[in-house]
Structure 1
Amino acid sequence: MQAGITVSAAELPEVLLHVAVVRPVFLWGAPGIGKSSLVRAFAESLGLECVTLLGTQLAPEDLIGVPQIVDGRSRFAPPVAIARDEPYCLFLDELNASSAEVQKAFYSLILDRRIGEYELPEGSVVIGAGNRATDNALARPMASALVNRLVHIHLRASATDWLQWAGTAGIHQWVLEYLRNRPDHLWTAPPKTEEPFSTPRSWHMLSDALHSYGDDVSDETLRVLAFGTLSAGHASAFRAYVKTVRHAFGLDAVLKGEAGWPATPEDRDLLYFLAETFRARLIKELAADKASASPAARQLAHRGKALLVELAEISLEVAQLVIASDDDGRPVLPTWFLVEVSRDLPRLVAARA
């Protein structure tokens, strides 16, 4: 299921507070963006215990219970995980990954808050969650009868929200600072093949591993950890970022003229990282209209043209990467800056020669 209307992690609690307390909710989202932890945090905010049932590990009898004889009549005894006396949050994780029979068993529990003779205590909430088929995750078609029993909310990954949370959650400083510079690397769509990819969860895993090793982790171990948790391009860039931290070699030093672009073959990953950071800085700070550009932005544009010449002398490919259009062929840097680059670069090259 896809939707053009989404909510961020910061917006979700208020939506759940008004909706989940009156109707069951299904939370859609890509793997690793924090659906489960957000539901548990919401339950905790209400003072409710969160009881999680994993759809992929359930059989129908795990919900319906098993029959027993009471006073000469049979009745189903609901499982102890569900049959509680106090209100709680019933979290049906990976609901749409469960079998059709298990999904059917959820019908009355979701709509009527009842399984057989057992009814959820007043004040309980029911929240389901699952991945989308387009995420290359395990997801089975959800019957229309079940779809129609739920309020559907689509969660998106938000770098702003995650970074705000990460700043107080003990996330490793390298991860935190890297994503502050490259928030677009927080999440990437799941690949078609079986390989690691970047999500808030995978960055958290990398942070935990770095805390375990300590800041003296070797470059080779760092490479293993990064490529074992992140998308390959993000892993390479993160490893290069750590080099800048360890050697006090950053983009600001290049902009100020205190250091040059790294030119040795063994530092090619660092060169790519600094070039991508340079591109991101230009995109962020250069105004769309030159007339409204601040003095600092004009100075950055002026310095940027000279740095492009120096970069092209090391690698024309990397220099072209800085001013390249997006995947759809649209310029991402202001037109006035690109015009000045095409006009002034030959003169700057001649001056250096």
Structure 2
Amino acid sequence: MPVSMPAPATDPRPEATRPEARPDIAHLDSARPDIAHLDSARLDVARRLLDLLGDTTTEPRADPQLEALTLAVAADLPVLLWGEPGIGKTAALNQLAETLELPLTTVIASVHEPSDFSGLPILGDDPAQQGVPMAPPDWAVRLVRAGRGLLFLDELSTAPPAVQAALLRLVLERRIGTLRLPPGVRIVAAANPRSSAADGWELSPPLANRFVHLQWVHDHEVVVRGLGGVWPVATLPRLDPLALPEAVALARRAVCGLLTARPELVHRLPTTETRRGGAWPSPRSWDMTLRLVAFATAAGASREVLSLLVRGTVGDGPGLELMASMDRMDLPDPEDLLADPAGAELPERGDLRQAVLDGVVAAVRNRPDRQRWDSAWALLARAMETGAPDLLVVPATTLASLRREDWDVPESIERLAPALALSRRADVAAARVAAKAGR
């Protein structure tokens, strides 16, 4: 009786993936029982592809928010990055730690208990005599042993109020249980707005007032170049050793000058819960602002970077007032301008130029005489030659009203007359257009 032979088993894998179609790994399948070798080889190929995808470089690139972050880190101030999910906050911290060669320790605040930050009680041999010490968590011990590092507190806005309360001592005093973080450890946190956070909470005012708040947004060009393999490099600012005393003096003069003129800004707790969870002015945050102004000045940071830092520490309103006050600190003395109007150098920015001209007219009003009045007109004529004539309308009108009967009209007024008349007509025309549009 004929014996039927079983049909040969067919390879269920697609033809393109069979070993015979891949000469580079076909030899691994010669011994059919050891299929694990084949799977391992495929994982090796997958790992090589992942390595190629992760092979990126960096380039120097002007990035105000990244420069503000590195300045705050250099100043040893806790920073809180606010941004929507997926915006790149965590990636920025990873890149910063790698560039600065600091070990990164990430702690998800929302998945920890308050005792994880205040310390766990450990009973000893004689608690009545020795007390109950508070043991720190393992990540804190590793940071202390390393002596340096970047502590990243992620998902801060999803931490419940009890955990936020436990973080107060860590953020301000840098203490966890019985341990104190060494000076080489910097603290950076990240949070999503409550509207986009999972079970989000508003930050408590005491915790919020301990941070420099930076709004983290994406730059289209940075994202495109980064996906192409080139990301901006994060470098610590270079502080000019010779500029340190002057930077400290300027920072103190700027902050103290503003608070002397505006004492109500020393402490202003916002009225809404959302604003209390952000930047607002207090003696603590003004002290942080003073430090940031000194660091930014010594580093030669741009006005945009300094604005991000001060507004992220004391809030938009007080921060903008401080920036405006600092701009006026560098304005020339009206008396120096009146003494030499021909050699005067006026600011390029329109608002600063307007402030200088108004100051000159005010100086003439306070001490009017013929020579100072003539010098002011000469200065206005120079301003018209180097800037927009519409800035001269108000100071020229005010200066003309100060003329005494026995003062002759200087030649500079005749040079100014056509431009001022044209500017007035333009203002009248603009007012008419606005009036018609409002009907």
Larger Rg belongs to: 2
**TM-score tier (shorter):** 0.3 to 0.5
Q: Relative to total residues, which structure has the larger helix share, 1 or 2?
A: 2
TM-score (norm 2): 0.35
